[in-house]
Amino acid sequence: MRPAERGGIEARFVSSGAVEGGGALGRVVFGAVSGAPRLEDGVPTLPLHMIDDARDAFAEVWRTAGETRCGRENGLVYGHDDSLLFCAGFIPAGAGYTETARQTYADAFALVRTLGFPTIFRMWNYIPDINGETPDGLEVYRDFCRGRALAFEAEDAGHAGMPAATGIGTWGEGVGFYLLACRDDAAQHIENTRQMPAYRYPERYGPKPPSFARATYRHGALYVSGTASIVGHETLHAGDLLKQWEVATDNVAHLVSAGNLAAHGVSDGYTLQDLDQIKVYYRRAEALPQVMQLARAAFHPRAEVRFLNVDICRTDLLVEIEGIARRRGSQ
């Protein structure tokens, strides 16, 4: 039984030009253009500049089995059924992102509350020139993290309210982001005992630490945040792609394991073979053949995997992995 058939949500990678039928909550186009989200044929759509050649573009489509409704509010677009919501937004390029990220996140938080979907269980953030500097000399990613943290603090959600998330580079201008939320409170945010929680990182990583959990579990699916070669809070094996891949996949394997989930009160467990809807972000263009070979060896032959050549949140990181772990028979 597919997830959408039992009141859940499913994602698929499709051609960027594919026409969506009913049940589509939202669509993210990984192509050669970034911009504000819009409604296309009644489907909330966010364009992200993540590749150089438009012929390689693809879309990620989120579907449910319920009747969907869509709308716009404060520059945000959204789609929802009775249980689940997709929301996307865009922060125009600027000298810095602290205030604009804080305000746009605050608008998104207000929208999900107003629409009745208070539990955010997954977020994605695509940040331009992520390793560059603002006029104040602060790294762009750290500047963005400060604004995001201020928005979470204003929500008084605490660490328990921080969902799985990805913060990664984009070739475009402006920050594109999207999120998934639900009406119920069934989402369980998960940490990894191999890694320090990101929200507890020391100040050396910026004035405010990143605001996310390592994963979120909901209705039999584990949404895995962008995961890299970090143990504790330190990057391991700077400059060595193979060893970074090994640490990153070890981190994911431990994160999704029954032992780690049991520590969070979740009676489930997965392996790398259960991971699907995988995005592999890699820094060096020439590394693609090696990264593809490593992914083929690590993941299930039927896993959907996409590779995106972009910068990563730390300059010494070469690869990052995200995905959704779910029993393969339930997909």
Q: Is the four-CA dihedral 9, 267, 190, 162 of positive or negative sign?
A: positive
For this structure, is 304 an active site residue? Answer: no
Distance CA 108, CA 180 (A): 11
pLDDT of residue 3: 47
Distance CA 107, CA 152 (A): 12
End-to-end CA distance of the chain: 7
Q: Which CATH superfamily does the domain covering 3-330 fall into?
A: RutC-like (3.30.1330.40)
pLDDT of residue 169: 99
Q: What is the pLDDT of residues 90-121, one digit of tens each?
A: 999 999 999 999 999 999 999 999 999 999 99
pLDDT of residue 179: 99
pLDDT of residue 1: 34
The domain locations on the chain are: 3-330
**Along the 331 residues of the chain, how does pLDDT read in single tens digits?**
344 444 589 999 999 877 666 789 999 999 999 999 999 999 999 999 999 888 899 999 999 988 999 999 999 999 999 999 999 999 999 999 999 999 999 999 999 999 999 999 999 999 999 999 999 999 999 999 999 999 999 987 677 789 999 999 999 999 999 999 999 999 999 999 999 999 999 999 999 999 999 999 999 999 999 999 999 999 999 999 999 999 999 999 999 999 999 999 999 999 999 999 999 999 999 999 999 999 999 999 999 999 999 999 999 999 999 999 998 665 4
Q: State the SS3 of the chain.
A: CCHHHHCCCEEEEEECCCCCCCCEEEEEEEECCCCCCEEECCEEEEEEECCCCHHHCEEEEEECCCCCEEEEECCEEEEECCCEEEEEEEECCCCCCHHHHHHHHHHHHHHHHHHCCCEEEEEEEEEECCCCECCCCCEHHHHHHHHHHHHHHHHCCCHHHCCEEEEEEECCCCEEEEEEEECCCCCEEECCCCECCHHHCCHHHCCCCCCCECEEEECCEEEEEEECCEEECEECCCCCHHHHHHHHHHHHHHHHCHHHHHCCCCCCCCCHHHEEEEEEEECCHHHHHHHHHHHHHHCCCCCCEEEEECCCCCCCCCEEEEEEEECHHHC
pLDDT of residue 162: 94
Residue type, 51: I
Residue type, 312: I
Of residues 60, 139, 304, 320, which has the active-site annotation?
320
Total-model pTM: 0.96
Are 278 and 259 contacting, i.e. CB atoms less than 8 angstroms apart? no
